[in-house]
Chain A
Amino acid sequence: MTYAKIIKQLKKLPGIIYGLVIIIAFFGVTADYFLTFMNMMNILKQASVLIVVSLGMTLAILLGKIDMSVGSTMSLVGVVTGICLHKGISIPLAICIGMAVGSIIGFINGYLIGYRKFDYWIVTFSNMGIAQSLALVITNGATIPGFDSSFRFLGDGQIYGVPVGILIAMAIALAIIYLSYNTKFGSNIYAVGGNEQVARYSGIDTSKVIFKTYILSSLLAGFAGILLVSKVNSANPIAGSGYEFDAIAATLIGGTPFDGGRGGVLGTIIGACIIATLRNGLNMLGLTPPIQFTLVGFIIILIIIFDVLNEKYKAKKGGAANEA
């Protein structure tokens, strides 16, 4: 049943899935080693981290808000986990400690925005700085290198040639898809984002919904940070910086606009794949990361133009029908 539902949801997805196909075809033709199994797996490995962090960002945006602190939360959780591992703490415990530290950021975000009605830009922007600063302070700005292979298995390992990271990301993605489409909490996120007053008048505890969503976002960001450390085999205190940009981009490209209450995580997953593919392909064509930001920016604008034109087209069609 869930399978049929996913197919149905896939059909509902914006044309963005074709965008992914076009991008893959483009690089397949222009870049020599793009369409190899190795490279495809590489893209998926890169996408896995972005998918996990973008899921949280999408939930925050569905809420009609945003979470600017996800990138530095990734960095902070990454270095905390790294330090714990180097101190000889077991892997599960180290991960738990890292995630717990990350969830403090989400707790502060959620409490101040949900219960104290602070502006979400100010709160998550401030925490972006605070988490970044903490990550730098506890590491003295240095990268923590080298972890043992059992930890690296998470982000860098393979099962039958398929990266473990992408399997984990997919499992998390399925859980979040299910949560957002099939639970009360998911429905409440849409309600709060659609119109907070309507949600409140319908008896929904909006503060609690906001609080929970921000904690979830920080947990997802934290886990993405751990995946990243495992993948690159080092914990860099600024490793997550810039991920908030990509996560917002993945959300927007995936069809969840800033006004909240519409869109969904399914599109975001495709959006994240598009960005990962784009960055990989552009690297192969010799275009460096600095110029890649410009292209991602352009693509977002293109998609918005397409969206606006599409709405206009639909409105015109509707208008013509009314006239008849």
Chain B
Amino acid sequence: MSDQIILQLKGISKQFPGVKALDNVSLDVRKGEVHVLLGENGAGKSTLMKILSGVYKKDSGKIFLDGKEVEINSVNDAENLGIGIIHQEFNLLPHRDIAQNIFLGKEPTKRGPLGVKVLDKATMYSKCNELLKTVGIDLDSRILVKDLGIAQKQMVEIAKALSLANLKILIMDEPTATLTKGEIDKLFSIIRKYKSMGISIIYISHRMEEIQVIGDRVTVLRDGKYIGTVPVKETPPSELIRMMVGREITNLYKRDYNEPGPEALKVCNLSSRGKFKDVNFSVRRGEIVGFYGLVGAGRTEVAKAIFGEDKYDAGEILINGKKVKHHMPSQAVQNKMGLLPEDRRDEGLITKMLLKQNVVQASLRKVFPKGILNNKVESQIATKYIAKLNIATPDENVVVASLSGGNQQKVVLAKWLLTDSEVLIFDEPTRGIDVGAKAEIYELMNDLAKSGKAIMMISSDLPEVIGLSDRIYVMYQGKIVAEFNHENASQERIVNFAIGRGDTL
């Protein structure tokens, strides 16, 4: 890393309808550094990077590359300047192959019949194979992307960004969100390699431990404003968090452990071919029971089977000691269960509908026994929950899509509280939710447990599982392989079970 500044953003502002997404933000990036961009969701990190990569147009401000002012009006402009981006969501076409994806929009061409410009497929595939080798992926470039695993897809995304001929700046927007530890290490070694070649990396992440490992300098944004730039080595995480949220968060996980009540949910020998096998566990009233495991360990599948969304082959489910069989979620809801799914936007909410409509969604029969909806009643109920759960929204008549992740999660929660659910399944309750809102969700979960609800919590966030759970089940390849209570849970032991190494320390 040198002190030479390669990229400079000065006074960037961007207005979206109703929101000032960026307000006079500046950033300078040195040649060959990993520059971390830190901030809560909605702080403007992704917007800033989308401006830099030509997806959005800035309202005002200037961009300098190598000391010269540049205009970036399109993705092509950015690519021609050597600015590549790996977006937060996958930007791949599942039904096209790896090479078609990597060279999308910049396919090599040649003169074909009648002098028409046609694709030069031979060059494309050989270049692609070469590229995959440099990134260290051992894959045939003709494999369709839909047949790849999540980590492989992420590597293809990286290869796509690296395919730019004169890459100078590489933007990575939360590249590790879906990766395992080993894959993250691999990614970091690639980052170090490109860094040593003088390529600068702008790295967006929430994960403190990653920032410490890979970052050189950190720029913090908050509410669309520039807060400051500090060197990673000399700044403790607590200071970064303070810059990020503007206040101190001392104790993220607050739990009042109380004597649990009777068993609310009991699952005996539940099996579903190819998904999970002989799953046994129970959740008592007043308990939060954490489920930890790698992606694909079968946790979400178990939850969906209990909730009646998926079928299962064998086993029993008991609610309050009574045997139940849910063929569809509506039966589970009648038995006072609620599911807060991992994918809030697609499975938890109807994002095009209003907040109040989403709140009453699962209780229509209860709230309107005559089958005729009443706007005023909807508003009253929603207003009550907005206050109760501290949902940050102008009013109950907003479209849910416009809310932040944390507030959307609260709306899902409100929906289930209104049904008087006694067993609540939280699947990744705080994924994609910023620190401030996280703390509030944890507090709500603690209150719910205290009031006697039984909570099953699936989470891949280990500190969250340990900090919040009364008991913890670890799943590996469709089976429960270990059970801990909150006193004897240790990160190392849980991870060892989750990766199939058993209790080997």
Contact = CB atoms under 8 A, between A and B. Distances in A.
A200 interface: yes
A197 B91 contact: yes
Given A194-B94, A262-B95, A323-B274, A200 B119 contact: no
Given A200-B75, A201-B91, A202-B91, A191 B105 contact: yes
A201 B92 contact: no
A184 B95 contact: no
A203 B93 CA distance: 14
A203 B91 contact: no
Interface string A191-228: 10011011111111000000000000000000000000
Nearest to B275: A319
A218 to B, nearest CB: 21
Contact of A201 (B55, B100, B106): B55
Contact of A199 (B85, B87, B105, B275): B105
Interface string A284-308: 0000000000000000000000000
A203 B119 contact: no
A36 interface: no
A67 to B, nearest CB: 21
Given A182-B112, A184-B119, A319-B274, A203 B76 contact: yes
A183 B117 contact: yes
Contacts of A319: 273-275
A310 interface: no
A187 B75 contact: no
Contacts of B119: 182-184, 187
Interface string A161-201: 00000000000000000100011100110110011011111
Interface string B78-92: 010000010100011
A182 B55 CA distance: 27
A198 B112 CA distance: 27
Contacts of A183: 116-119
A94 to B, nearest CB: 26
A322 interface: yes
A261 interface: yes
Contacts of A195: 91, 93
A188 B75 CA distance: 15
A202 B105 CA distance: 6
A320 interface: yes
A80 to B, nearest CB: 29
B74 interface: yes
A204 B105 contact: yes
A194 B96 contact: yes
Contact of B109 (A184, A199, A204, A322): A184
A182 B116 CA distance: 11
Given A183-B117, A183-B119, A184-B117, A203 B96 contact: no
Nearest to B144: A262
Interface string B38-69: 00000000000000001100000000000000
B302 to A, nearest CB: 16
Given A203-B75, A203-B76, A184 B107 contact: yes
Contacts of A320: 274
A198 B109 contact: no
B104 interface: yes
A27 B324 CA distance: 54
A245 B274 CA distance: 41
25 contacts: A178-B118, A182-B118, A182-B119, A183-B117, A183-B118, A184-B119, A187-B107, A191-B104, A194-B94, A194-B95, A194-B96, A198-B92, A198-B93, A198-B104, A200-B75, A201-B75, A201-B91, A202-B75, A203-B76, A203-B105, A204-B105, A261-B95, A319-B273, A323-B273, A323-B274
Interface of B: 54-55, 74-76, 79, 85, 87, 91-96, 100, 104-107, 109, 112, 116-119, 121, 273-275
